[in-house]
Amino acid sequence: MTKKILLSSVVVVAAAAVVVGATTAFFSDTETSTGNTFTAGAIDLQIDNDSYYSALDGLVSSGTSWIQKDLEDGDWFFNFSDLKPGDWGEDTISLHVNNNDAYACVDVRLDSNDDVSSTEPELEDGDVHVDDNPEGELANRVNFIWWVDDGDNVWEDDEQLLPAGPLGNLNVGQVATVALAEPNNGGIFGGALTGNQTYYIGKAWCFGGFNEDWLDDPPAQDDGEDADRSPITHPVVCDGSGEDNQTQTDSLSATISFYAEQARNNDGFECSAHLGNQLD
């Protein structure tokens, strides 16, 4: 009898343990997503410059060339100290936006246009030196043309020539803004710059006047077939014969600034709204 009672007690305790255990054994499943992150994109505009200058000993690659980089003090698109009428230069500026599509503008500000001094030849040719406002003539005599280039530093017949002229079209301190890329296929590149793609702007300057025949009949587009094509083989034609002595010792300086802003979610972007902001 005692053994039966003990056995029954064990069965009851075991059954109770099963019942207790069963109350916590619901069907279940767990799914876990790890590593959820947000990482902001980047807009990094970098510039490089391939420059040529018609020095006295022939056309040379200019010291104002540099490889793709963020611009720093001393990165000049032009820095020439002994100009003569008929001198000219050419450089092709390339734009790189890493890593996202972007709209872009360029600001050009005339910082100075100084007479510096009035030499005897200047005065004999009619230069008037005013001590309290010595404005020079050089900014009106160095002419510029700009175009959308294919990267060979040569303006060709199917490349878009942009509005240009002498920097003297600006007053000292005045800024001119050119839309490079704007919404709705705007700007000279016709819409946003594609991230990680290279875009080229050609620039030529002439101390004097560009030859009209050269302007009217530039070289034909070579589609990259001529590996030697450059301003050495296809030079800018500059005529300085119309210049006199009034520009002697004159100097000018300018600031050129490029600006890029994200294209996505930015359909209202306008370069005019950012006029000169990056030059402040």
pLDDT digits (tens, 9 = 90+) for 205-229: 999 999 999 999 999 998 777 888 8
- Residue 19 within a domain: no
- Residue 94 within a domain: yes
- Residue 68 within a domain: yes
**140 confidence band (pLDDT: 50, 70, 90):** very high
Cα 238 to the chain's mean position, in Å?
26
DSSP-derived 3-state class of residue 223: coil
Angular region, 248: left φ>0, alpha ψ -120 to 50, beta rest: beta
The rounded distance, in Å, linking the Cα atoms of 164 and 143 is 8
Query: Which residue in 59, 69, 46 sits closest to 90, CA to CA?
Result: 59
* Both tokens assigned to 62: 């200019």
**259 confidence band (pLDDT: 50, 70, 90):** very high
| Of 267 and 124, more confident | 267
Q: Is the confidence at residue 134, as pLDDT, over 70? A: no
Write down the pLDDT at residue 80: 83
The rounded distance, in Å, linking the Cα atoms of 120 and 240 is 21
Q: Are 49 and 92 in contact (CB under 8 A)?
A: yes
Number of domains in the chain: 1
Write down the pLDDT at residue 129: 66
Average pLDDT value over all residues in the chain: 84
**239 confidence band (pLDDT: 50, 70, 90):** very high
The rounded distance, in Å, linking the Cα atoms of 91 and 52 is 6
- Residue 206 within a domain: yes
The rounded distance, in Å, linking the Cα atoms of 241 and 246 is 14
**131 confidence band (pLDDT: 50, 70, 90):** low
- Residue 188 within a domain: yes
Region 80-103: mean pLDDT is 91
Alpha-carbon distances, residue 6 vs 12, 19, 112, 127 (angstroms): 10, 20, 111, 129
Q: Pairing state of beta strands 175-181 and 251-262?
A: unpaired
| DSSP secondary structure code for residue 192 in this structure | P
Query: Which residue in 140, 138, 148 sits closest to 80, CA to CA?
Result: 138
- Residue 113 within a domain: yes
Element housing 15 (H / E): helix 2-22
Q: Are 147 and 159 in contact (CB under 8 A)?
A: yes
The rounded distance, in Å, linking the Cα atoms of 176 and 166 is 12
What pTM did the predictor assign?
0.81
Q: Are 203 and 90 in contact (CB under 8 A)?
A: yes
Lowest mean pLDDT among 17-21, 25-29, 139-143: 17-21
Which structural domain range is residue 245 located in? 45-279
Q: Are 90 and 219 in contact (CB under 8 A)?
A: no
Write down the pLDDT at residue 59: 63
- Residue 37 within a domain: no
- Residue 249 within a domain: yes
